[in-house]
Amino acid sequence: MSGAAAAQTCPMGQLLCGTSHCAAIGTVCCASVGHEEVSCPGGTVCKADGTCGSTCMAGQTTTIATCGGDTCGCSAPCAHHKDCESTCCTTAGYCAPLCVCQNQGQLFLSCDKTGLGYGGLAVKGCSAAPGDRAPSPLALFAIAVALAALALRSGRARRGSRPSVTRPAPR
């Protein structure tokens, strides 16, 4: 929201929104939908009812992180770190910049930094950090070959050390 402007001038860092209001640079002035008293976060759109909406694809939502120089934008839904290009899935269920999962900031939904902030999901399993990759197919193949060789050697050693069986003499 922005305050009334005096004589159609705005303070430094703000631009005229409509005929008598100012909006911070980087926000969207809602005068075009009849609400010059409203400005929405960048990356969103003004709705006729004076609220802000997202221009994101279906399933995405507008978010902003408090780290990494993030700006208001669309985030995809996620359930695991691997679902995100950044390898950072948050407890809100949306992808975030990696700095959020490195505990350097939080993710805010609807680009509202006054609301509840979310951190990264806990790392589960053997992964040391978000973004760790699974072993390559070549590495898995090498492990399989090494295990097979070990099993062969172990099997030969057991066969060579078996006690001999003596059969009773016929009567």
pLDDT score for 80: 94
The structure's pTM equals 0.48
Domain that holds residue 18: 14-54
Strands 117-118 and 39-40 turn out to be: unpaired
Both 79 and 30 in one domain: the answer is no
**pLDDT tens series, the chain, 171 aa:** 445 544 578 999 999 999 999 999 888 888 888 899 999 887 777 888 888 876 788 889 888 899 988 877 889 999 999 999 999 999 999 999 999 999 999 999 987 788 899 999 987 654 444 444 456 676 677 777 877 777 777 666 555 555 555 566 676
Examine the domain organization and report whether 143 and 64 are in the same domain.
yes
Residue 65 has φ and ψ, to the nearest 5°, of -105, 155
Residue 9 lies in a domain: no
Within 10 A of 121 (CB to CB), how many other CB atoms are there? 18
Q: Which of 83, 86, 82, 81 is nearest to 121 (CA)?
A: 81
Domain assignment present for residue 36? The answer is: yes
8 in any annotated domain = no
CB atoms within 10 A of CB 16: 17
In the beta sheet, which residues pair with residue 17? Answer: 21
Q: Do 91 and 25 sit in the same domain of this protein?
A: no
